[in-house]
Structure 1
Amino acid sequence: MKYLWQAIKEARYWLITYVALVLCFSLFTWLMDLEAWTSVQFIIIALPIPLAFIPIMLNAQKYRQLDEAAQAFWQEQNDYNERQWLNELPLAAQDQLKVLLASLKQKDDQLNQQNIELKQYKNYIEEWVHEIKKPLALISLVIENRSDQMSPIVLERMVHARNQIKNHVDQILYYARMNSSHRDYRFETLELTSVIHLALAENASILQETAFKSTIQGQAARVVSDKKSLIFILSQLINNSVKYVHTEPKELIFTLNQINTTATLRIEDNGPGVEKEDLPFIFDQAFTGHGSSSTGMGLHLVKQLAEDLAIKLTAESIEGKGLAIILSFPLHEEHL
């Protein structure tokens, strides 16, 4: 029915003109000879008007075939469907459509090539990360087994360099995986206090080196999340505090709380804090704040991972009094 209305709509001016001419001819015939008009009125009026709808019906059929050919092409883009679509078009429109389809095909080929290159780049990054972990493990082994043969300052610098390399390697690995269509999350019930202890243990050397004091307070909470990703999030927040806090004594406070159907984890330091105008942008990619030499990638990855894990992320800060990052976890019924 929609094709019929489309054909009528496009032929409406011609149809109105045609009907007007038939009626005018009928009027003239009636004025000239009433008896003759009475005998031929069916031929003059009743027959021409229905006949006018024959080309309209043919056009409606043409529109339907054109629509079906176009839909078939977009569902499966191949040479056969392209030819079928072109054959349904007027000659003047065929050349224009050929140019358009050629341009689309070129763009599609370029996009496919970019996707291939991006996949190859991602694979290379992941392979590079795994390869760089070998000398990193060797450095850790040397530090553990030969620390008594090193001067304190050399040992301190070795540990610091090892920790920096490890943190950057973890960042680049997670960044490469964030753009992947498949992410290997393993969701399970986790005790937040235990996850905090694991993150602190993973960063024990850098916390000890920088003389950070960490405190866990509040009530225990169980959430459903991916342990590996959650430890990475906490590690990035710990490293962010280590990077910016220079006030003695250096403190990192983890506060657990549960409000109705939400469990919250507040990670707070006593560093310089963030300026009010910068606070809304600290999770943006490459945001580094004023005078910072960092890449700004850590908090951006934290934001991306939090969104994937359905963790609401907020930040609070008073300049000169530290920064607090709050992670809010939705609780399942069995954990309420």
Structure 2
Amino acid sequence: MRDSMRKSMGKLRRYVPWFLLILGIDGVSALLLWLADLEAFRVLAPLMLLMTVMLFAVIVFVLQRAEKKKEQALFDFLSSPDEWHEENLLKAAGTSDEAWIRMLGTVLRKRQDECAKAEAETADYEEYVEAWAHEIKTPLSLLTMVLDNQSGELPSPTAFKLDYIRNRIQEQISQMLYYARLKSANKDYLFEFVDLRECMEEVLEDYRMLLEEKQFLIRMEFGDSAPEVYTDRRGILFLLGQIVSNAVKYSSDNPELTVSFEKNTPRGDVLRIRDNGIGVKQCDFPYIFEKGFTGDAAEGRNRATGMGLYLSGKMADDLNIRLEVWSERGVGFEMAMIFPRVDRSDRKGTVPLQCGR
């Protein structure tokens, strides 16, 4: 309301000089009338002033209406610069502005076609990436089955190397797939109640051979409360996978991984995952979720891509999960995932929420 009044007053100020000019002309006319006939001046001077004010008000009203119509036509034209809106703008603006309106319409339509072409190409690329990522899962599943069935026949170093390769390929494919998913206009999140214990066990099973190779001591501290949260299962599996992957990459001697859950805290339901690895410098805290940030490459991060935590941060934003990080150099790293509280009774009788945007 206040902004609208301020905008209207700003428009009226543009007409003040013209009003003062008309008053000046009236003043000169009144002076001449006064010199010519005093009685006529007394009668006509107030009438002249009244007529001037009324005429000025009518002119301002007509001009304001025409300008508002022109602004609306311009807005419609900029929103959709087709030929129909261009003709409407020409009618509202008049022939004096025809040249620049025609030129603007040509440029905008050209840019619109280029944007539409780029969007179509991006959509095709996203479809290709997703299709490729799903297709490559078949040979990965076959490799996993072979490793599981013939792990006893393969030498331990060979089995570990093959599983490490499989795990790295799976991780990179997941990152690529979720990166394409995050950049997509439509995001098919399926919100439902998810058991975090089951999700954590599934992720730990995927990294089982790597965890066993480095002799990780794993502690699961979920307590008596049911570790259920209302979120997207695929998204939370991706987040947990990135955290466990970093714990494995940057582990120290006698590595440990502790998973704990706190329900109904003042801030929400909190899942904490803590390791005793090399940790992160405090000066790096503001940048760990930035794209491509890897920290000091000389400290065990020379193979890092800087995409894991970046994608985790973006995914957490989409799922309305707050991430909090604690770390001390040489002591460990902790990621706290804070979920908004949603009671099952509040969702009773509802179906999983399909989110697309």
- TM, length-normalised to structure 1: 0.85
Quickly say closer, same or farther: Cα 1:321–1:22, change in 2 above 3 A.
closer
Deviation of 1:236 after TM superposition, in Å, equals: 1.3
Alpha-carbon distance in 2 for matches of 1:108, 1:24:
56
Alpha-carbon distance in 2 for matches of 1:201, 1:55:
79
Query: What residue is the counterpart of 1:130 in the other structure?
Result: 134
Query: What residue is the counterpart of 2:29 in the other structure?
Result: 25
Specify every segment of 5 or more residues in structure 1 that has no aligned partner in the other structure, as ranges. Answer: none
Alpha-carbon distance in 1 for matches of 2:97, 2:162:
71
Deviation of 1:60 after TM superposition, in Å, equals: 4.1
Contact 1:223 / 1:335 at 8 angstroms: preserved in 2? Answer: no
Quickly say closer, same or farther: Cα 1:320–1:158, change in 2 above 3 A.
same
Deviation of 1:121 after TM superposition, in Å, equals: 1.2
Query: What residue is the counterpart of 1:222 in the other structure?
Result: 228
Query: What residue is the counterpart of 2:157 in the other structure?
Result: 153
Deviation of 1:177 after TM superposition, in Å, equals: 0.5
Tell me which amino acid in the other structure corresponds to 1:281: Y
Query: What residue is the counterpart of 1:59 in the other structure?
Result: 63
Quickly say closer, same or farther: Cα 1:270–1:94, change in 2 above 3 A.
same
Of 189, 199, 205, which aligns to 2:203?
Answer: 199
Contact 1:188 / 1:226 at 8 angstroms: preserved in 2? Answer: yes
Tell me which amino acid in the other structure corresponds to 2:170: K
Q: Specify the structure having the higher radius of gyration (Cα).
A: 1
Describe the SS at the equivalent of 2:173.
helix
Contact 1:288 / 1:294 at 8 angstroms: preserved in 2? Answer: yes
Query: What residue is the counterpart of 1:324 in the other structure?
Result: 334
Instruction: Give per-residue Cα distances to partners, 1:67-101, cap 9 Å, x unaligned.
Output: 34334434544212211212332544332333333
Number of residue-to-residue matches in the alignment: 333
Instruction: Give per-residue Cα distances to partners, 1:236-294, cap 9 Å, x unaligned.
Output: 111111111131x2211112223245221111111111111112322221111111221
Describe the SS at the equivalent of 1:277.
helix
Alpha-carbon distance in 2 for matches of 1:182, 1:171:
18
Query: What residue is the counterpart of 2:355 in the other structure?
Result: none
Alpha-carbon distance in 2 for matches of 1:303, 1:8:
49
Of 307, 312, 317, which aligns to 1:307?
Answer: 317
Task: Calculate percent identity across the aligned residue pairs.
Answer: 28
> Which structure is richer in relative contact order (CA contacts within 8 A, separation 6 or more)?
2
Query: What residue is the counterpart of 2:282 in the other structure?
Result: 276
RMSD of the TM alignment (CA)? Answer: 3.1
Deviation of 1:195 after TM superposition, in Å, equals: 2.3
Query: What residue is the counterpart of 2:252 in the other structure?
Result: 246
Query: What residue is the counterpart of 1:115 in the other structure?
Result: 119
Instruction: Give per-residue Cα distances to partners, 1:100-159, cap 9 Å, x unaligned.
Output: 333333333332222222111111111111221122122223323444443332222111
Describe the SS at the equivalent of 2:294.
coil
Contact 2:293 / 2:305 at 8 angstroms: preserved in 1? Answer: yes
Specify every segment of 5 or more residues in structure 2 that has no aligned partner in the other structure, as ranges. Answer: 347-357
Quickly say closer, same or farther: Cα 1:63–1:230, change in 2 above 3 A.
closer
